[in-house]
Amino acid sequence: MKGFFDPSILEEVEMLRILGPEGTMEEELRPPELTDEKMQELYREMVFLRLADQRALNLQRQGRMGTYAPFMGQEAAQVGSAAALGEGDWMFPSFREGAAMYMRGVPMEAIFAYWMGNEAGQRFPDEVKVMPISIPVGTHPLHAVGFALAAKIKREPICTIAYFGDGATSKGDFHEAMNMAGVLKAPTIFFCQNNQYAISVPRTLQTASRSIAQKALAYGFGGIQVDGNDLAAVYAATKTARQRALSGQGATLIEAVTYRLGPHTTADDPTRYRTQEEVEAWLPLDPLVRVRKYLEKCCMWDQEMEESVYAFAQEKLNRVVQQAEAFPEPTPEEIFIYTLEKMPQRLELQMKDYLAFLKELEG
């Protein structure tokens, strides 16, 4: 295993890397099912997702989408981890996991509709095993642990995976989830996308830990740090964590070291807290670039294929936008009817009162 070091924050911390920035694969570490054909398939998805992310940003700037959290630069972390999951596993996403959600079957038009302000975009098809997006930072790992423990009691051969950023690991809920997962050996994967910033706060200012991964040791289970821009390393680490979970060895914390190339959200101006030189230093590590370089070396990719995939993705996104904007407008009643399975009388009275109030406003 070869290490990758960021001298400013990761000195002496070994990190799993399989596919290097120059497109060179460490074959002895490569999972056998991650064939060249599979790499090519996943690269196509990464291209689509990069363009989908950019389209969402454009829609927000045009006033056709609300505040949006882009994931540009983090495609390998999300695609690689989602691709390594089993059919029955459940995903608990935060607000930046559009790529991972899409890979698990959430329609992109539903993701777009949600960020356009339509909660119906969180109503996924029944067969999709993805929980709704969690906006509060770091609260949903608790849900992932509880769900995993229920599955363990029912002897279901599945695991759960909770996605969060490096900032969430400084929150209390994260540590409560880690503690319960350690004590009860929950089949849960904690997947941290360490993109170097908790909004505008650098990682080194929000935790004194040398790595995020080492936090797992305090709770009695394993942690691993991977190059989060390396599709193969992320896939391999997630696959191993899943095997540990299903074999009764409990949870794993994966720290995927990556970099958010865009803003925290469309309401953020990253030029106020990081330099252009810093951004440019990460560009050679772009997850799409290294996969393309690898495929080109294998004679499985060329410029003509690149242009074809980009054109197909843009056409697909045109349909996605049309479908997202065609989602039915939510009704005022929906504020109330999805809170609980069966609406209690007090909530029903509140709904009637609110509807009467709206009718008065209409005159």
pLDDT per residue as tens digits for the range 174-215: 999 999 999 999 999 999 999 999 999 998 898 999 899 999
- Please identify which residue in the block is written with the tokens 């929906």: 334
Mean pLDDT of all residues in 159-166 = 97
Give the separation between CA 63 and CA 65, rounded to whole angstroms.
Answer: 6
Evaluate if residue 6 carries a pLDDT over 70.
Answer: no
Evaluate if residue 9 carries a pLDDT over 80.
Answer: no
Least confident of 37-46, 76-85, 156-165, 272-281: 272-281
Q: Which of 339, 336, 330 is nearest to 118 (CA)?
A: 330
How open is the CA angle 95-154-172, to the nearest 5 degrees?
35
Evaluate if residue 3 carries a pLDDT over 80.
Answer: no
Mean pLDDT of all residues in 233-249 = 97
Evaluate if residue 7 carries a pLDDT over 50.
Answer: no
Q: pLDDT band for 219, please (50, 70, 90 cuts).
A: very high
What pTM does this model have?
Answer: 0.92
Mean pLDDT of all residues in 104-130 = 95
Q: State in Å, rounded, how far the first CA of the chain is from the last one.
A: 71
Evaluate if residue 335 carries a pLDDT over 90.
Answer: no
Q: Which two tokens stand for residue 293?
A: 């370089």
Instruction: Quote the DSSP letter at residue 329.
Output: P
Packed helices 303-325 and 108-115: angle between N→C axes, nearest 10 degrees: 50
pLDDT tens digits, 122-131 = 999 999 999 9
The phi, psi pair for 122, rounded to 5°, reads: -100, 5
Catalytic sites, residue numbers: 260, 264, 273
Residue 109 confidence (pLDDT) = 98
